[in-house]
């Protein structure tokens, strides 16, 4: 297929500044993201949350793009903004959308390094992923099937993914991850240029290691539902670590431990992500596979 238009989106969460300031940079220097064979759109997804340096105003924008949400009455700011973005980028589910690929830029307080989160699967998306893995060997891949399906910004286009980088505190920039994210986006744009020129791209034939989503794991809680513990110090900042039965994963407030009790070893991701306290999970669990 020929790629006509690619969208680079930042500030879906207003306190994740890597994407916000990369979009600022590219809007002031559009030649950096310009390629000859397709158009590149750069935009801030959630301007009001960016102004407030908050994740969102009323509701998580990155959970607001399910088809039933887009069809519902616009009861709050993010619902309205999701419909505006759907009109700019989509419409979602149409035979022909305004953009072909959405790359949504995020950061996380978890120690995820440079990661891609794939939930909008397609052949083009996976070809792009394989190409990026060849260019950036430290890149991690997570295939998400999490708390809400088909509701991310990148689901509006037929192809796309999110870039997640961390650990970065909310409302903070880290220069190394800022430039690592930019470098990854430049590789992505170069990939689309190669596709449009009909160049052979051997990287797209390679196997890639994927962390395939299995489950969401909540914090320990008391009978009232209040937190009764926290991520264990042995697991903190050790994202992608494989958990074996008996490994400590939580430390209760009384000092005792809760250990991993599953027979299957799984990997811990998004460990102790600050934004996920309200969603009710302390980490995600994933199975490492070759794809």
Q: What is the pLDDT of residues 149-196, one digit of tens each?
A: 578 999 999 999 999 999 999 999 999 999 999 999 999 999 999 999
Confidence label for 245 from pLDDT (cuts 50, 70 and 90): very high
**Cα–Cα distance between 193 and 142 in angstroms, integer?**
25
Confidence label for 146 from pLDDT (cuts 50, 70 and 90): low
Structural domain span for residue 266: 214-290
Q: Where are the alpha helices (DSSP H) in 32-76?
A: 47-52, 67-71
Number of domains in the chain: 2
102 and 222 both lie in a single domain:
no
Q: Look at residue 110 in the predicted model and tell me its pLDDT.
A: 98
270 and 286 both lie in a single domain:
yes
22 phi and psi, to 5 degrees? Answer: -65, -40
169 and 35 both lie in a single domain:
yes
Q: In CATH, what number is assigned to the domain containing residue 245?
A: 2.20.25.160
131 and 48 both lie in a single domain:
yes
Calculate the average pLDDT of the chain. Answer: 96
Q: Look at residue 56 in the predicted model and tell me its pLDDT.
A: 98
Last residue of a domain, one of 154, 173, 206: 206
The residue count for the chain:
291
State the DSSP code for 218: P
196 and 233 both lie in a single domain:
no
Q: What is the pTM of this model?
A: 0.96
Last residue of a domain, one of 173, 206, 239: 206
Please answer whether residues 96 and 119 qualify as being in contact, where contact means their C-beta atoms are separated by less than 8 angstroms. Answer: no
Q: Look at residue 148 in the predicted model and tell me its pLDDT.
A: 56
44 phi and psi, to 5 degrees? Answer: -90, 125
34 and 93 both lie in a single domain:
yes
* CA gyration radius, the chain: 19
Confidence label for 145 from pLDDT (cuts 50, 70 and 90): confident
**Cα–Cα distance between 213 and 164 in angstroms, integer?**
15
State the DSSP code for 123: H
132 and 173 both lie in a single domain:
yes
């Amino acid at each position: 297929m020929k790629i006509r238009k690619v969208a680079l989106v930042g500030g879906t969460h207003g306190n994740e500044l890597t994407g916000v300031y990369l979009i600022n940079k590219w809007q002031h220097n559009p030649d950096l993201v310009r390629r000859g064979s397709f158009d590149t759109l750069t935009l801030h997804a959630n301007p009001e949350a960016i102004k407030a340096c908050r994740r969102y105003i009323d509701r998580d924008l990155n959970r607001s793009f399910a088809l039933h949400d887009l069809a519902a009455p616009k009861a709050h700011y993010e619902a309205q903004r999701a419909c505006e973005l759907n009109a700019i980028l989509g419409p979602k589910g149409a035979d022909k959308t305004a953009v072909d690929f959405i790359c949504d830029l995020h950061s996380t307080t978890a120690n995820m390094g440079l990661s891609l989160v794939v939930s909008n699967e397609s052949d083009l998306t996976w070809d792009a992923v394989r190409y990026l893995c060849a260019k950036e060997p430290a890149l991690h891949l997570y295939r998400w099937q999490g708390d809400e399906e088909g509701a991310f910004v990148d689901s509006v286009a037929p192809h796309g993914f999110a870039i997640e980088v961390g650990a970065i505190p909310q409302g903070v920039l880290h220069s190394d991850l800022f430039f690592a994210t930019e470098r990854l986006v430049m590789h992505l744009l170069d990939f689309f240029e190669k596709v449009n020129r009909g160049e052979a791209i051997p990287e797209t034939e390679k196997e890639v290691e994927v962390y395939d989503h299995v489950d969401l794991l909540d914090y320990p809680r008391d009978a009232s539902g209040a937190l009764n513990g926290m991520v264990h110090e042995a697991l903190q900042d050790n994202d992608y670590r494989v958990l074996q039965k008996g490994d400590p994963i939580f430390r209760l407030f009384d000092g005792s431990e809760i250990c991993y009790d599953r027979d299957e070893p799984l990997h811990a991701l998004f460990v102790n992500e600050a934004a996920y306290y309200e969603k009710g999970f302390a980490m995600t669990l994933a199975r490492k596979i070759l794809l």
